[in-house]
Structure 1
């Protein structure tokens, strides 16, 4: 194809991370559209391998079962007093997907689907044109290419976050460790371990996902206003692994690090008549938890159904009620009106596990949410709920972000 030539499809997806590839998989699976996915070529623009975790009911999403690296039937929370609470969220199970396996799976489907195409190129401008939208791309050899489609879905990170009333960061570093002896229970995932020193502002916890009796992902995570240095994360991880978990001798096989904005900003889902944002850039990250992967799957299903039915609207990834509750929680944490470790520990202690996971996924009814709310510190939460609608939105520093590992 000559420089500047056009290639067409029903949909162009910019970015081949969790959001872009999930949507491509849904569109091809439902026959809703022909799809071109634009991914950066190999090099510094391609992100390092990431971990995505989520929970779902029953046997999970069969579409991605081959990419699931591990699953856990039980969840555990360690309170700040050291007490452990283990819960069974049946029929839900917590699952881990590694990005490399997920990409291989969806890339293979793109290669074999009649309407699928994967293009390794650097995407530039995206704009509306008569009858749809176009994406200007530069291929590795320097050749330019214009892609045209009826709709473009852009998952690239935003250059700046929208104004917000409250913005915290979920920032973390994790080690994939191998221990000298069996130290882990592969049937239990530690979602929040508050037996770590707490920062002056926000909260901190450990996170352990066993992969085998002698292997696990061990993370140190903070919810606060600013990330740490790599040296500070390493020190915190070393303390957690050696002093809290008592792992003994171990080897760090690899590491991952990231920053996820926890914000009540309003993310624009549409930037043109035929240009839409998806993934974290489109507001898929749950503000109060940082979880993204499960929301991306629900949103991809909804978008594919809308296109199949000829509906030009793109539904939001989260409902208004869920977003308001998240805004209240973020504000209560940021102001220190609630004690974060005690709040989350009590949520797991006082709420049936499966209902709580549905709540965190935004899948509960108003009645269920009212019951969960009564199990939280009612006074501080009510005061914050009355305050939030009147708070001004302002810009905040832009963190260096990666896709959510949750």
Structure 2
């Protein structure tokens, strides 16, 4: 077996970003690092959006930024100016190209195009078996999620953020490209938490995603029919679909960190880096990968990386409510946006809020369901 100091399984956002951070830090210059993925050129397989205060790490490769967001429901409609924040979009092709460009400048990195079958922890490291070969790594960082680990348990709720998106191009100006539609719950809810997400790139081009927070997925035609009807209801008829995307992101407070061990650290969605209550992953991954780099310089036992915070419990309670009362999602989010400042909401979701800000968010939502869920978890 070929031996490496570090093996990274998967070259998606979390795996590639971790490799990139290693390539930029001289601490890792004498370390051998292997990246394994079944495909290197992934193209625009993802679109990530996130909010950020001021200049950010990825500003040079952004597709679009917005200074305003719109929130809509049958109960409450408002356009917010979100200064000092900006809402930002990044397409994965530009992201991958930028990161690979730097990684390729380092001779201690190796990429192998292969499929991972198994990896097994040994006393001094990890054996990785692929379709074509086997490798040994002193430490392994795994971004390949195994959905059975959270689907096969019932202690923690599981719902999905699932969506289909259309990039559309219109003949005439049809979009306000200064405003991103953050959540529009005016689409039929049909007993679930359903909303439209609209990201105008310019006045004639936009990404529209029909998104659900629910337990069950839909037939593809139902997602696409809803997008078509939404465009029609907004008097947009002369358009062509230039690209499509789809996704299914698990939303769960399952304790992924308990799957970590001395030599194996699960990262990205596989490590529970997805924000359980929202499905947002990208920004959290940029933060977590920095923390991994700092951790590796002082610790050898990867099982000690994760630290529990109050936000895990907040997310758990919120998911309990959404899982058991999915039809009330629009009312919950409407109440939060109506009663709270966007800056407070963003800080809370970024897990940067003070106790006073936590209380403001907690008091902004209808209390009954959350009180029920809270005491149920205490019993």
TM-score by length of 2: 0.91
1:350 CA drift (Å): 1.7
* Distance in 2 of aligned mates of 1:252 and 1:89: 30
**Quick check: 188-197 or 378-387, which moved more?**
378-387
Which aligned pairs between 1:37-56 and structure 2 lie closer than 5 A?
Answer: 37-41=35-39, 49-56=45-52
* Distance in 1 of aligned mates of 2:269 and 2:311: 16
1:203 CA drift (Å): 1.1
1:19 CA drift (Å): 0.8
Q: Which has more helix, going by share of residues?
A: 2
> Is the Cα–Cα contact under 8 Å of residues 11 and 37 in structure 2 kept in the other structure?
yes
Q: Check 1:174–1:72 CA distance in 2 against 1; reply closer, same or farther (3 A cut).
A: same
| Partner residue in 2 for 1:157 | 145
Gaps of 5+ in 1: 391-406
Residue aligned with 1:239, SS: helix
Aligned length: 373
Residue aligned with 1:161, SS: helix
> Is the Cα–Cα contact under 8 Å of residues 32 and 305 in structure 1 kept in the other structure?
no
1:98 corresponds to 2:98: no
Q: Check 1:257–1:310 CA distance in 2 against 1; reply closer, same or farther (3 A cut).
A: same
1:198 CA drift (Å): 0.8
**Quick check: 341-350 or 216-225, which moved more?**
341-350
1:260 corresponds to 2:253: no
Residue aligned with 2:63, SS: strand
Higher relative contact order (CA 8 A, sep 6+): 1
Candidates 357, 374, 379, aligned match of 1:385? 374
1:372 CA drift (Å): 1.6
* Distance in 1 of aligned mates of 2:228 and 2:278: 24
Candidates 9, 16, 31, aligned match of 1:14? 9
* Distance in 1 of aligned mates of 2:92 and 2:289: 17
**Quick check: 210-219 or 84-93, which moved more?**
84-93
CA RMSD, Structure 1 to Structure 2 (Å)? 2.2
* Distance in 2 of aligned mates of 1:233 and 1:337: 18
> Is the Cα–Cα contact under 8 Å of residues 168 and 242 in structure 2 kept in the other structure?
yes
* Distance in 2 of aligned mates of 1:310 and 1:161: 27
